[in-house]
Structure 1
Amino acid sequence: MVVLTHDVDPQGDLVVVLKEPNSANLTLDVSIRPSGTVLGKEGYQNDKDVLNLPKAKSILPAVEGSDKEPVEVHFKVSSQHMKLASPFFEQMLNGPWRESTFSKAPSTPPSRAGPGSLEPCAEIFDDAYERLPPRSAACTSSSPLPTREVNVHGWSPEALLLVLKVIHGMNDEFPLVTSVEFLAEVATIVDYYQCQRAVQLAGEVRHQTMYRFPLAYGKRCILWLFIAWAFGWRDDFSKLASFVIEHGEGRRLIKSNELPVTVILGTLDNKRQECITKILTRLDELADELGDDRAGCDHRCSSMLLGSLLRERKNLSLLDPDLQSPYTGYSVHEYAKKFSAFRVIDWGYRGWGEGVYYSTWVYHHYIDAAAPEGD
């Protein structure tokens, strides 16, 4: 067993024991469409956007790359700071004990899964990206001093150390610029332990120094979406959410692994599907209205509009297939582009009097009604 110790608070009365460091898979894989690819068809590629620079300095230099010995990282902290910063830790540390909180015999500590454990003490992620009860959660004494231990699992030790330092008032320890992926790891811990208020100032500084609205849909956009959610950047989260609804092409094209963004993405993708359903439904309704002379200025006008609608839907493959939810491979943005591509034609006829002329620009008035309003 390799044990590394960091004294966040040298006078602290709580030791946070990180087991299996870096085992949580917080990577994000997003399949995007290369430029020029036909919508709705195969041909996606993994987003290669580089989001892991600059690299965070490892606090495990002596054991990186070694799988021969298990590693634990011990962080000595103040239980009062942790309880004030995190409702999670407050509930955990104020919860009932099976036995005495402090052991007087450090040479014979209780089993981590046996007597002396606290339930719930820590949680982990499973393969389904859900929070589960702990595999082991012990609060013991590792010295004659009244020091508790709390086990946590899987986190990046660098990200966890940074969060603990900020909770203890060391905001200057937070680099002004980090990689987006590292900031997402920090955001995951902040969200998991519900300590947004304690890190609010540090988060706002990173917002000013790092955040720029993404220029395209992909991995960067979704990571910033989650970071904005975790740090409570409401305006930015709202704008990013609208962008994902407009440009996303389906939840199946995103593999979030253990990054806790599944529920958010599912909600936004449901909105995307609702928008596309409204568009297709309105187009079908418009065809019925034109066929029944309930739209258009007169019979000739509605006939021209109906013919134009049927031809455009046939020529533009995006609108021709009998699409079904969840519309994987189609975005609201692309539908809007197809609407703008519908051609406007002028036509007219001559009767006994002056000629009468019409333009199918009227048709665009009906098409605009098909586009759902933003939420």
Structure 2
Amino acid sequence: MDKPFHEIDPDGDIILVLRHPNASFADWDETREDVSEPLPNHSNISSIAGSAPPQPVAGPAPEDGPPAPVDDGPEADDADHTDPSEIQFRLSSKHLVSASPFFKKALRGPWKEGHSVTSDGYRYIDAEEWDPDALLIVMQIIHGRNWSVPRSVSLEILAKIAVLVDYYNCHEAVHIFSEIWIKTLEGQVPAECSRELILWLGISRVFSSAEIFTVMTRTAIRQSQRPLPTLGLPAMESIIGERNRWIGS
């Protein structure tokens, strides 16, 4: 194939087609001016987390509608695989279904396509705009390719992984690695309102990191008198909405 291709499972029966990868992510308005006094910078989260931190808000239940477009493969007039804005992943339906209720619905639910296998022997699933590195890491974890999974990632990649985990509902599969990644980054949590704080809120909510969640929500309440943006992150809508209602009351 001419397009970028990741063979996660050599015997896989699924081709996930990532279209328009590397879309803009969590854009922050640099003109924001929050008047506040920063809290002391803490490298030890537990030192300011307080007692009995509340558990993060649970994620939304899967919707009843179709969770993802599932194709019967490329159309006859789409045989040219030279689109540079497309990346393919060869995956195992068995692993996907086991790790993700999202993929279970897509591949086994009532919305699956009538022809499960195309003429080339694969079933195609579409995805759009994800970060390909974050998606690759999540798929490596789901498929048990642990030696290929990095033990440390940047805050940016971790936030993108959190969005994928929340979207595909594969929290349990990624849980152990998320604890490792968070541990390596928790000394860098911000002490004032910033884009990084919003990313940490999303990360701690998705991965149920109660201590970091408590610290970040406390900072968000104390350090800004303005409504905070969700940065387009679905996991942040309920959290930021609750905080903004509190500020406005």
Alignment TM class, shorter chain as reference = 0.7 to 0.9
Could you say if the C-alpha distance between residues 174 and 272 of structure 1 is closer, same or farther in structure 2, counting changes exceeding 3 Å?
farther
Report the Cα distance in structure 2 between the residues aligned to 1:85 and 1:259, rounded to whole angstroms. Answer: 21
> What's the CA shift for 1:4?
1.4
- 1:95 maps to 109
> What's the CA shift for 1:246?
2.3
CA contact (8 A) 1:24 1:155 kept: no
Report the Cα distance in structure 2 between the residues aligned to 1:7 and 1:19, rounded to whole angstroms. Answer: 17
1:215 is aligned, of 158, 182, 191, to 191
- 2:95 maps to 81
Bigger RCO (CA 8 Å, 6+ sep):
2
- 1:236 maps to 212
Matches within 5 A, 1:63-142: 69-96=83-110, 97-103=112-118, 106=119
CA contact (8 A) 1:2 1:71 kept: no
What runs of 5+ residues in structure 1 fail to find an aligned partner? 37-67, 107-142, 275-375
Secondary structure (helix, strand or coil) at the match of 2:242 reads helix
Report the Cα distance in structure 1 between the residues aligned to 2:113 and 2:36, rounded to whole angstroms. Answer: 61
- 2:60 maps to none
Could you say if the C-alpha distance between residues 217 and 172 of structure 1 is closer, same or farther in structure 2, counting changes exceeding 3 Å?
farther
CA contact (8 A) 2:20 2:86 kept: yes
- 1:282 maps to none
Write out per-residue CA displacement over residues 304-356 of structure 1, whole angstroms, 9 at most, x where no aligned residue: xxxxxxxxxxxxxxxxxxxxxxxxxxxxxxxxxxxxxxxxxxxxxxxxxxxxx
Report the Cα distance in structure 1 between the residues aligned to 2:102 and 2:218, rounded to whole angstroms. Answer: 31
CA contact (8 A) 1:27 1:259 kept: no
Matches within 5 A, 1:266-285: 266-274=241-249
> What's the CA shift for 1:257?
3.6
Secondary structure (helix, strand or coil) at the match of 2:16 reads strand
1:148 is aligned, of 105, 123, 144, to 123
Give, as a single letter, the amino acid of the residue that structure 1 aligns with 2:201. L
- C-alpha RMSD of the superposition: 2.5
Could you say if the C-alpha distance between residues 28 and 89 of structure 1 is closer, same or farther in structure 2, counting changes exceeding 3 Å?
farther
Report the Cα distance in structure 2 between the residues aligned to 1:202 and 1:154, rounded to whole angstroms. Answer: 23
Give, as a single letter, the amino acid of the residue that structure 1 aligns with 2:107. L
| TM-score (normalised: structure 2) | 0.72
Rg (Cα) greater in structure? 1
Matches within 5 A, 1:1-375: 3-29=3-29, 31-33=32-34, 69-96=83-110, 97-103=112-118, 106=119, 143=120, 145=121, 147-212=122-187, 213-251=189-227, 254=229, 256-257=231-232, 260-274=235-249
> What's the CA shift for 1:27?
3.0
Write out per-residue CA displacement over residues 55-100 of structure 1, whole angstroms, 9 at most, x where no aligned residue: xxxxxxxxxxxxx954211111111111111111111111234522
Secondary structure (helix, strand or coil) at the match of 1:76 reads strand
> What's the CA shift for 1:268?
1.4
Among all aligned residue pairs of Structure 1 and Structure 2, give the percentage whose two residues are the same amino acid. Answer: 32
Report the Cα distance in structure 2 between the residues aligned to 1:15 and 1:159, rounded to whole angstroms. Answer: 17
Secondary structure (helix, strand or coil) at the match of 1:27 reads coil
Secondary structure (helix, strand or coil) at the match of 2:133 reads helix
Report the Cα distance in structure 2 between the residues aligned to 1:2 and 1:28, rounded to whole angstroms. Answer: 35
Give, as a single letter, the amino acid of the residue that structure 2 aligns with 1:174. V
| TM-score (normalised: structure 1) | 0.49
> What's the CA shift for 1:217?
2.3
